[in-house]
Structure 1
Amino acid sequence: MTPTDIDLVQSSFAKVLPIKETAAELFYGRLFDIAPEVKPLFKGDMKEQGRKLMMTLGVVINGLKDIPSIVPAAEALAVKHNAYGVQPAHYEVVGAALLWTLEQGLGPDFTPQTREAWTSAYTTLSGVMIAASTRSLNGTEQTA
């Protein structure tokens, strides 16, 4: 990720924050439309799940200028998601739902450059999470 990518992700997410509840609803609606098989993985209150999603995104996005600082939290989250039944293949549909949500929420502000920056950020972090998830599922997780 370039510094410009990070700035684009952070500035565009700032524009999403005022509509974060709607954005979370859009995200989960889209996720369940394109991957109905993941819906049973969500057993709790979806409004609370949406709040957690937006809070987690905020933490990650604020940490993009120092990715090594957010890697341990991303890895721990991936391992935690294993317990819910999340599979490495699910990360692709989550990324697609996220990009679609951003496009809906940002409208014309979701430029091709902004899409590319978000794709880079998501690819970077989902790669970290998939690796941690796979290590955990294979029983090769190392503790610090």
Structure 2
Amino acid sequence: MNPQTIALVRTSWNKVKPQAEPAAQRFYERLFALYPETKQLFQEDMDEQRRKLMAMLDTAVDALDDLDAVLPAIEELGAQHACYGVTGADYDKVADALLWTLGQALGADFTPEVQGAWTEVYRSLAEAMQEGAAADALDCP
């Protein structure tokens, strides 16, 4: 990941963070509207789920300079998601909802360059999560 990608994601994330709660709400509303079948993947309190989503994104954005440092945690997250029933196709659904949400939160600041940077970051994270899911798929409780 190049420095420009990291800078674009960090700058845009700093604009989204102050509106984290409504952005998370919009994300799940969009995800469930586009892909109603994903709703069954979320068993816990959605307030808590929204907080976890934003915290995970914040951690990932902070770690963009050294993703290798958080790679084991990202892979473990992927393994946990596999246990919940998340499949490879679900990552594309989340990408759709996430990019839409970022576009809504950023408005005119969601330029093609920013969208491309977020797409690159999301793909990297999703690939790591899917690798973790594949490695630990049989270790579900």
Flag whether TM exceeds 0.5 (same fold). yes
What residue is the counterpart of 1:39 in the other structure? Answer: 39
Distance 1:69 1:35 in 2: 33
Runs of 4+ with >3 A deviation? none
Please show how residues 57-136 of structure 1 align to structure 2 within 5 Å. Answer: 57-136=57-136
| 1:127 CA displacement | 0.9
Q: Which runs of 5+ in 1 are unaligned?
A: none
| 1:135 CA displacement | 2.4
Alpha-carbon displacement from aligned partner over 1:62-97 (angstroms, at most 9, x marks no partner): 000101112111001001111211112111110111
Cα RMSD after superposing both structures? 1.2
Q: Which runs of 5+ in 2 are unaligned?
A: none
What residue is the counterpart of 2:24 in the other structure? Answer: 24
Which amino acid in the other structure matches residue 17 of structure 2? L
Aligned residues of 1:9 and 1:118 also touching (Cα < 8 A): yes
Distance 2:35 2:69 in 1: 31
Which amino acid in the other structure matches residue 120 of structure 1? E
Alpha-carbon displacement from aligned partner over 1:25-82 (angstroms, at most 9, x marks no partner): 0100111111111101112211111011000100011000101112111001001111
- Secondary structure of 2:43 counterpart: coil
Which amino acid in the other structure matches residue 119 of structure 1? T
Aligned residues of 2:74 and 2:125 also touching (Cα < 8 A): yes
- Secondary structure of 1:58 counterpart: helix
Distance 1:54 1:95 in 2: 14
Aligned residues of 1:20 and 1:54 also touching (Cα < 8 A): yes
TM-score by length of 1: 0.92
| 1:118 CA displacement | 0.2
Distance 2:125 2:56 in 1: 12
What residue is the counterpart of 1:7 in the other structure? Answer: 7
Distance 2:74 2:103 in 1: 24
